[in-house]
Amino acid sequence: MKRIAILIGNDNYDNPDQRLKCAVNDATALEQKLKEVQFDTSLFTDIGRYDLASEITDFSRKLDSYDVGLFFFAGHGFQVKGENYIACKDTQFEDDISISHTAYKLQEIIEDFDNSSLKIKILIVDACRTMPNSTRGSNSTFAPIMAPKGTIIAFATSPGQGAKEDPVSGHGYYTKALLKHLLTKNISIEEMFKRVRNTVYMETQGKQITWEHTSLLGDFSFNDYSSVDSDMAYSKIALADADYEPVNHAVCYEMIKMALTYDFNEQNRIPSMLDRNKLQVVKEAPDDIFVLGRVLYQASHRAFNVQHYFEQLHEKLTSYPADMAEHLLNGMAYEMFFDDSGKLRRVFDMNAFSKNVLEELWSDRFNKCGKYIYSQLKEYSQNIIYFPGKKLDFEVFLKEYEDPYADCKVYRISEIFLDGINVMYNSDGTDYYSIDDDYRFGYSALGLNEVETKVIERVAGSRRGVNIQFDIEDKAKEDNKIKVYWSDGFRLLKYID
pLDDT in tens, 227-270: 555 678 899 999 999 989 999 999 999 999 999 998 999 999 99
- Between residues 226 and 192, the one the model is more confident about: 192
What's the whole-number mean pLDDT along residues 37-45? 95
Pair 284, 327: CB distance under 8 Å: no
Fold of 3-214: Rossmann fold (3.40.50)
Q: In degrees rounded to 5, what are phi and psi of residue 63? A: -60, -35
CA 444 to the chain's CA centroid? 35
Q: Using CA atoms, how far apart are residues 395 and 418, in angstroms rounded to an integer?
A: 7
> Of all residues in the chain, what percent are helix, strand and coil, respectively (each to 5)?
40, 20, 40
Could you report how far apart the first and last alpha carbons of the chain are, in Å?
21
Q: Using CA atoms, how far apart are residues 16 and 365, in angstroms rounded to an integer?
A: 48
pLDDT value for 184: 85
What's the whole-number mean pLDDT along residues 133-150? 62
pLDDT value for 390: 77
Pair 331, 292: CB distance under 8 Å: yes
Residues in the chain: 497
Pair 157, 209: CB distance under 8 Å: yes
Query: Quick one: pLDDT band at residue 307, thresholds 50, 70, 90?
Result: very high
CA distances from 67 to 5, 227, 389 (A): 11, 12, 23
Pair 81, 29: CB distance under 8 Å: no
For the stretch 405-442, pLDDT in tens is 777 888 999 999 998 889 999 888 888 988 776 666 67
For the stretch 441-490, pLDDT in tens is 678 889 999 999 999 999 999 888 899 999 876 545 555 578 898 988 89
At 142, which amino acid appears? F
What integer best gives the mean pLDDT of the chain?
88
Q: Using CA atoms, how far apart are residues 314 and 302, in angstroms rounded to an integer?
A: 20
In this structure, the number of other CB atoms found within 10 A of the CB of residue 382 comes to 14
Pair 81, 46: CB distance under 8 Å: no
Q: Using CA atoms, how far apart are residues 373 and 70, in angstroms rounded to an integer?
A: 28
Rg of the chain over Cα atoms, rounded to whole angstroms, equals 28
Q: Are strands 165-166 and 151-155 parallel, antiparallel or unpaired?
A: unpaired
Query: Quick one: pLDDT band at residue 131, thresholds 50, 70, 90?
Result: very low
Q: State pTM to two decimals.
A: 0.63
Q: For 300, which DSSP code?
A: T
CA 85 to the chain's CA centroid? 34
- By C-alpha distance, which of 20, 156, 29, 139 is closest to 91? 20
Q: Using CA atoms, how far apart are residues 238 and 485, in angstroms rounded to an integer?
A: 38
For the chain, residues classed under CATH 3.40.50.1460 are 3-214
What's the whole-number mean pLDDT along residues 347-367? 93
Pair 373, 333: CB distance under 8 Å: yes
pLDDT value for 229: 56
How many percent of the chain have pLDDT more than 70? 92
